Structure formats: C-alpha cells, structure tokens
Amino acid sequence: MRSFPLVVVVLIGLLWWAPAGAQETIHLPAEVFSTPGPHVVVNGALLKAPVKRLNGSLVLPMRAVFEALQAEVKWFPAAQQIIATRGATVVQLWINRTTAIIGETEVTLVAPPMLLDGTTFVPLRFPAEAFGGDVKWNGPLQTAVITIPPLDAAPPAVWTTVTPVKTADTGVIIGKTAELGQMLLVLDAAGDAQVRPLGPGVLLTRGPAGGAAKAAAFAELQPGDAVTFTNDAAGKLSAVAATFAQVSGKVAAIANNKLMLQDGSLYQLHPEVKTADAAGAAVALTAIGNGHDVTLRVTPGTTTAWAITVPADAALAPVPPAAAQPTILTVGAQGYAGPVKAGGSVTIQVSGTPHADRVTARIGDVLQPVTLHEVEPGKYQASITVAPNTNATNVPIIAAMTLGGVTSAEVKSAQLITLDTTPPVFNALIPAQDAQVFERAITIQAAFSDPGGSGVNPAAVTLTVNGMDVTKTATVTEKGISFTVQNLALGVLPIRLQIADQAKNAATVAWNVTVATPPAAQAATLAHDAAAAITAGKVVTFTAKLLAAPVKMEWYLGNTLLAGTPTRVAGTNTYTLAYTIAAGDAIGAHAASIRVFSNATQSQVIFAPTPVVIAAPVRAFAVTAPADKSAVTPQLAVTGEAPAGSPVRVTVSYSKVALILVMQGDLYKGTVVAGDDGKWTTPAFETELLLIGKVDQYSVKAELLDGNGATVQTITRTLTPR
C-alpha cells in the first residue's frame, strides 16, 4: 500500500466552543496563548501539523488528525475510497460523495471529500464525532479543540487515595487568557512555563514590591509581575499575590537590549517590552532616547524591564532618517515559553533603526542565519521551523543589522533558547523484560535520560501496571521512576511506561514480568548492612544465604550489575560481596537483588527486604568562580556550591567615577537553586558597558537563603577591569 497526502478541511461554521464560565474547562497547551493561530488541539495536545486557510476554512493533513484520534487510515485509489478504523468503529468515505458509512449506517456529509491538486480534503467534525469525539471552536484563540476518550484508557486506580502533587508556588507572569476560563502563563524558578488555571472565587491582589497590596481584577495582572500563588485541592489557583517594581529617571543611553539611566543603573529590556505614554498611547521604542524622562516597570528582584512609560506631553525624538547608523535595541523570541521540538517554530523579533537594508539573526551556532522582515517601522520578524536532529541548550539569538553599507556589531539576546528534537531514552528497567520473580510485592524501577538536552518532564511520565495508571502513587523525577506494588497475583504482570521531555518528544516501553511460586527447596535470602543513607566512597556489604551452591550469581544495586567476586563463608552456602558507592551512582533508593542460576537456563531473583539509600554529600556554601581579585571577562557566569536545593541570590554590580559623577548599578541580579549535586550557576551575562566606558570596579555578592528568603550566609568577591 503506498502512502498518500491527506488534508482535513475544518468547517468553521460547524465548530463551537465553551465560553468562560461554562461548567467544563478545557485546558490548552501554552503554545495556543503564545503563538498566533489557527491551532488544532486533540485531548490537550497541540497537533504538530501545518494549519492553513483554504477558501475561508482551516485545512491540515488528514493523516495527522486521524493518527491523533488513534485511527488507522487506508487509501484505495482505484475506488477513490478512504477507510478509517478506530477500535471497533469503521468509517468509509469516497471522493466527491456526500454519503459516508459508519459501521453499517449510511450518513450524509455537509461537504464531500474532494481531491485538490492530488490532495484529499474532508470536514473535521464528521470523523471526530464518528469516532465518539467532540469538537469545540474558540474564535479569539483561533483554536479547534477536539476531545475523545483514548482507546487504551486505563481503569481508575483503586490501590490508594492520592493527594494532588504540589507545584511551584512562585513565578513570573509571561502571559494570560480568559477565553476558556481565566488562566495565567507563569515562568517558574526553574525556567519552565506552566499554564495555571484560576479556581472559583480566586483571591487576586496586586501592589508595588514592599508596599501595600490591593484587591485586583484579572485584567490588572501584567506580564512581568512576580506572583506567589496557592493551589486548591483540584490543583487550581485559589489565591494570587502579584507584585511589581517601578523605577523612574532620565535615559542616558539605550541599545543592545539594555537601557541605562543617568544615575548609572542598567536595565535589561524584555524582548516584548511595551512602550507607551502616560495616557496609554503607543510610543515607538526608537523614539525614546537620551535625556527623556521614563518610568520602567520591572520584575521585583531583577533588572528586567517589561514596560516603559513616558510623560504624555513628552517631546520624543523623530524617527531617525534612513541614513542613520544601524542600531539594534532588542533581540528575542516572541512568545517563547520553553524548549521547542522538531516541527515547532521560533518567531525571532528584533527592534531597532527603521527601514534597515537587511536584518539577520540565528539561534546560537546550530542554525544558519535567517533574514527578518520589517513588520512595522523599526520592528523585524521571522519564523524558523525547527528541523530534526537540531539540538541546542540555552543558547542566545544573535542578530545583526545593515544600513547604508554599514553593519552593526552582533547583538545577543538575554533570552536563552532550547531546541530539543531527540526523544528521551530508557537506560534501565527493573525487573527486566520477561524476568521471573517469586515475591508478591516488588519494586518497579526505570532509569531514563534525555539526550536532546531539555530534560525529561516528570509531569509527562505515565506508569501503567496491570492496566492501572499508578503514576500518582509512584516516585517520579526527571531521571527515573520507582513504584512498589503489593499483593501480586501469580501470572504475567504487564508494565507500560510513557515519558516525554520538556519539548514534548515522547518515548514508550512495554514489558512483562512473571510472578511465580518459588521452588519448594529454595528459601534463599539477601541482606545488606546499609541501615542508613550512605554517600559516595562508603562501602556496603551484601550477604546472600542460599540452600545450595549456584552455578552462577549476578549481584545488582538498582539497575547496576556489580563487579567483583563474592566471598563464600567456609562450610556454608552463604556469600558476601562488598561494593563501594561510586560518585556517579544516582541519588535515591535502589533495590538490592541477586540473580541465582541453578543451571544454565534456570534462575531465581532474590530481593533484599529494604533498599540501599544513596544520599548526596552535603556541600558547604562557596563561590567557585570567579576568584577574588581576578580580572573580569567579557562574558561572566558566577558558579558555586551549596546544600542541594538551597536558593542562592547573586548580585553583580559595577561602579565608575567620571569627574565628580559616581555611576553604579547591577549587571546581574537573580536567584538560582543548587542542584542535586550541590552545584549552582548563574546564566552568562555581558560585562562590557560600551555606554559609559571602562568600569573602575566590579563586585560579586552571593547570599545563601533559607526557606523564608532570609540571608543565612554571604560571600563577596571583588573583580578588576580587564
């Protein structure tokens, strides 16, 4: 059977949507709010297929839609017939016929399938509803929302009552919508974008940082506001406290994503910074220059500016003539909300001198430069579709502008982009495929990783055991999952594990384990002497007591096959093996087991009753780079160590004396979190201040914070100019 191009026509008049306030809330992916439509969403997942308009209707490849509906599609060119099968439902369609068949029932279509330039089109509502789905249309978001029960829907878990997982309770607003119920798009401390729906009766407050907060309407919450929120039992927001900071002064200089005030303070312009006068009228960023009075709205605790306001009667500079020097003001990705997979797009946006001859940009060094187009005076855009096998982690967008034969210096975005086109992989499964176990309670473990670089998303991990989704009762991290199942019945135990990374690349593995009755003559045991958590370099001793001497033994700690030769206790069938915990061994609980071979083909797996718990070494608070009194580098990142999970606030400042004027400000200010290995690092930032000349001195201050944000310990460094 040959492949064929299929496209679905979405008839807008047939679609409807549930407005805000409807009893049913449909949760949409972040891309719907951050990128222009039209979009198609199936069961909450954005359909990664090109969506276009044809004769006033939306069109997209039909095969992509049917596969998203879990339907199998076959094409019979001689009969001009399409047959789609989903479970027990069979749908038959013919080109240019308004009659279709569902099972054995004949139905009439609003529009027939048709061939246009060798491509097949069919109305979307019919196949979705024919397979038991539902279609809603959201006009403001230009999104068709399809919901359909999955074919392999697991029965509800009955093993335990689960408390909803607690998500991050702080972040920064980067977007919002009220079309399908009020929702915030929040960037958490880890840099991940989360869509957070507001619950009924949510309490909203907003006020200046350090000042009094007042009750606020949803419309008053602004991008760049720092928020602290509380979840209700359903995981929706029950309270949101938003704060903002404002800074006023006169502009000293503006260029290269930065704005400096005449007091020497320096601010990073967000790629989507809003500019307006006090009356609310839009103002071009290129019209704001040296000497203008401005008020900046800044995320508290940072130097990132989200809005610039000038007085309503300000005499702003006219648009520079075409002969002006090429100047780039901002570089960024419009609506970027996290790692992008193959087929996804990144919209690059550059602002600067209007009517440039050419503006180019690239993402790090992994993609060739693209030419941007001027969409309004001084604003340039281009969209890049990410190709397979294109991976980059936290790289900037680099732009340059040419005008009148003069090309500007390259300008890097402060915003870092991650492209991840490689699915995650499974590194180990325990018990292994077709393993035979004799216990009625076992621990299922899996280790996985993401070679693409964005990291496995714990929220996208699903573990199904014997047809039940047990994910909420399992321990899940970005590196693995562990789940203990009790009261197993004899026979085959099917296990299925699905994972996805932060870019939504997915991988699935399924395997079987056989639960059997142990041989009557075998009553072996395995134990270890690690009564408490141990760290790298410590030795754990395993002791196996067998009834007969085996022909072979394999000793395991988690998914690691241990090296070494066991020692037999003289005159017994007791064996011991000592293992030194390695620095690379994963932190957490690991099942200890031994596979005992009674002959070349028969074996038995014996588990220790308690796991071996490996803990991370406790690291003292320290700054490892840069060294004190060292010369500053053009690009600087501050690194150090702290107890795992500890927040560290880092401030990098500069000072310069020019005649009698003292200029000082912050190059970087932010909070980072020490990882499981106890190490922390800030993003790299530029230290060269071309706007004021050579700086006299740089200072670095790192503060170890407690759970309430109070300073526990402070380390300072002084750096000298290059």
pLDDT digits (tens, 9 = 90+) for 466-477: 888 999 889 999
Higher pLDDT, 691 or 679: 679
In the chain, % of residues over pLDDT 90: 25
**Close Cβ partners of 268 (under 8 Å, ≥ 6 residues apart):** 257, 258, 302, 303, 304, 305, 414
**Residue 98 DSSP class:** S
Token pair recorded at residue 383: 């969209």
CA distance 417 to 347: 11
pLDDT, residue 10, reads: 32
Mean pLDDT of 62-72: 76
Listed residue (454, 455, 413, 502) closest to 684, CA to CA: 413
Mean pLDDT of 92-98: 75
Higher pLDDT, 320 or 529: 529
Mean pLDDT of 443-458: 90
- Give the 3-state secondary structure of residue 136: strand
Per-residue model confidence as pLDDT tens digits over 307-317? 999 887 766 65
Token pair recorded at residue 221: 């919450």
Higher pLDDT, 79 or 483: 483
Listed residue (584, 582, 574) closest to 539, CA to CA: 582
Q: Give the CB-side neighbour count of residue 464, counting CA atoms within 13 A.
A: 17
pLDDT tier at 351 (50, 70, 90 boundaries)?
Answer: confident
pLDDT, residue 506, reads: 92
Task: Please say if the pLDDT value at position 28 is more than 50.
Answer: yes
- Give the 3-state secondary structure of residue 467: coil
Higher pLDDT, 449 or 4: 449
Per-residue model confidence as pLDDT tens digits over 365-424? 877 899 999 988 888 999 888 888 888 888 999 999 999 889 988 999 888 999 998 999
pLDDT, residue 118, reads: 57
pLDDT, residue 77, reads: 60
Listed residue (356, 28, 365) closest to 184, CA to CA: 28
Q: For strands 560-561 and 72-76, give the pairing.
A: unpaired
Per-residue model confidence as pLDDT tens digits over 537-557? 899 999 999 888 888 899 999
pLDDT tier at 180 (50, 70, 90 boundaries)?
Answer: low
Compute the mean pLDDT over every residue in the chain, rounded to the nearest whole number: 81
In the chain, % of residues over pLDDT 70: 84
Per-residue model confidence as pLDDT tens digits over 587-644? 888 889 998 888 877 788 888 889 999 887 778 899 999 999 999 888 899 999 998 8
Least confident range from 137-141, 469-473, 534-538: namely 137-141
Token pair recorded at residue 224: 């760049």
Token pair recorded at residue 420: 């991840």
Per-residue model confidence as pLDDT tens digits over 276-304? 888 888 888 877 877 888 999 999 988 88
Distances (CA, A) of 70 to 3, 32, 433, 522: 18, 22, 27, 47
Report the run of H or E that residue 596 belongs to, with start and end: strand 592-597
The distance of Cα 624 from the centroid of its chain, to the nearest Å, equals 28
pLDDT, residue 213, reads: 87
Higher pLDDT, 177 or 541: 541
Per-residue model confidence as pLDDT tens digits over 114-124? 665 556 666 66
Where would I find the H helices in 51-185? 62-68, 125-130
Token pair recorded at residue 505: 């690349």
pLDDT, residue 55, reads: 55
Task: Please say if the pLDDT value at position 4 is more than 50.
Answer: no
CA distance 67 to 73: 8
Task: Please say if the pLDDT value at position 34 is more than 70.
Answer: no
Distances (CA, A) of 452 to 385, 393, 426: 17, 8, 13
End-to-end alpha carbon distance in the chain: 68
pLDDT, residue 402, reads: 93
CB atoms < 10 A from the CB of 187, how many?
Answer: 19
CA distance 654 to 662: 11
Strands (E), 486-536: 491-500, 506-515, 525-528
pLDDT, residue 499, reads: 94
The distance of Cα 344 from the centroid of its chain, to the nearest Å, equals 14
Q: For strands 711-719 and 560-561, give the pairing.
A: unpaired
Report the run of H or E that residue 175 belongs to, with start and end: strand 170-177
CA distance 359 to 351: 10
Do 415 and 396 contact (CB within 8 A), yes or no?
A: yes
